[in-house]
Amino acid sequence: MIKMKTRKKLLLLLTSLCLAYSFAPNVVQAEESISEQQTKSSMLSVQFLGTNDFHGALSEAASLSSNLAQEKNNFINQFPEGLSMRVQAGDMVGSSPVNSSLLQDEPTIKVMNKMNFDFGTLGNHEFDEGLEEFNRILTGTAPKKGQFNLETENYPREASSQQILIANVLKKMTRRFHIIGSRML
């Protein structure tokens, strides 16, 4: 049998533990709330607007451009401090309709520039005529004399404004990131 004095001590100890335990969740919750606020204030909302397999479809460019602009506006209205980036995932040129292919897909590069794509990756069709030719188109240099028809030779040139990517770096803590599967050249 437990003595009365020991029983009172035990009861006091249990009561103290119960009281201490009942306050603990509030302390933890307050710490989590402060932590959540710090995390939210240091978070950056990012939107990636992307397309792929455009294949010089200039007849679809106005619709694509309009949709990209609308989605970006919706995002910025919801997250004014956010970052919206446009990404193309390859095959923007090559296997193209006549209105782009007869001019070596240079009109497509101009259209992509007008749509303000930030990054692009290479698809298989960017290599259709070799990397040297694709690089010529990207840099906006004229073809060699006699290499193509007169329309292509006399077409006004424009360098691409996109950065071409080839692998991946993701650094969350410094807010520096690259496209997964890509690394800037």
> What's the confidence (pLDDT) of residue 150?
59
Bridge partner list, 165:
121, 184
My answer on whether 48 and 37 are in the same domain is no
My answer on whether 5 and 67 are in the same domain is no
- The total number of structural domains in the chain stands at 2
Bridge partner list, 184:
165
My answer on whether 89 and 163 are in the same domain is yes
Determine, yes or no, domain membership for 183: no
Question: Which token pair is 125?
Answer: 């069709």
Determine, yes or no, domain membership for 78: yes
My answer on whether 166 and 106 are in the same domain is yes
pLDDT, mean of each 10-residue run, the chain (185 residues) = 60 51 46 53 84 95 96 95 90 93 91 89 86 85 69 67 56 54 43
Name the residue range of residue 3's domain.
1-43
Within a 13 Å sphere around the CA of 100, how many CA atoms are in the beta-carbon half? 23
My answer on whether 152 and 62 are in the same domain is yes
My answer on whether 94 and 62 are in the same domain is yes
Residue 163's nearest CA partner among 119, 106, 116, 117 is: 119
Per DSSP, the three-state class of 163 is: strand
> What's the confidence (pLDDT) of residue 153?
61
Give the residue from 28, 43, 58 where a domain finishes: 43
My answer on whether 26 and 54 are in the same domain is no
My answer on whether 61 and 32 are in the same domain is no
My answer on whether 4 and 69 are in the same domain is no
What is the pTM assigned to this prediction?
0.60
My answer on whether 92 and 146 are in the same domain is yes
